[in-house]
Amino acid sequence: MKAFRGEPSIFASAQPEDRRAELEVKNLTLKFGGITALSKIDLSVHTGELVAIIGPNGAGKTSLLNCITGYYKPQEGQIFFNGENITRLRTHHLTKLGIGRTYQNIELFPGMTVLSNMLLARHVHCHYNAGRASLFLKSVRKEEVRHRKVLEELIDFLEMQSIRKKLVGSLPYGMRKRVELGRALSLEPKLLILDEPFAGMTLEEKEDMVRFLTELNEAWNQTTILVEHDMSVVMSISKRVIVLDFGVKIAEGPPEFVQKHPQVIKAYLGDTATID
> pLDDT tens digits for 204-251?
999 999 999 999 999 889 999 999 999 999 999 999 999 999 999 999
In angstroms, the CA 251 to CA 269 distance is 15
Report percent pLDDT > 70 for the chain.
85
Domains and CATH numbers, the chain: 2-12+19-112+187-269 (3.40.50.300)
In angstroms, the CA 101 to CA 122 distance is 14
> pLDDT tens digits for 172-200?
999 999 999 999 999 999 999 999 999 88
SS3 at position 114: helix
User: What string of DSSP letters covers 247-262?
Assistant: TEEEEEE-HHHHTT-H
Q: Is the dihedral of CA 212, 207, 240, 196 positive or negative?
A: positive
CB count in 10 Å sphere of residue 4: 19
pLDDT band at residue 118 using 50, 70 and 90 as cut-offs? very high
Residue 122: DSSP 8-state: G
184 beta partners: none
Averaged pLDDT, 163-170:
95
Averaged pLDDT, 105-130:
84
Res 6: pLDDT: 43
pLDDT band at residue 73 using 50, 70 and 90 as cut-offs? very high
User: Cα 257 to the chain's mean position, in Å?
Assistant: 24
pTM metric for this prediction? 0.86
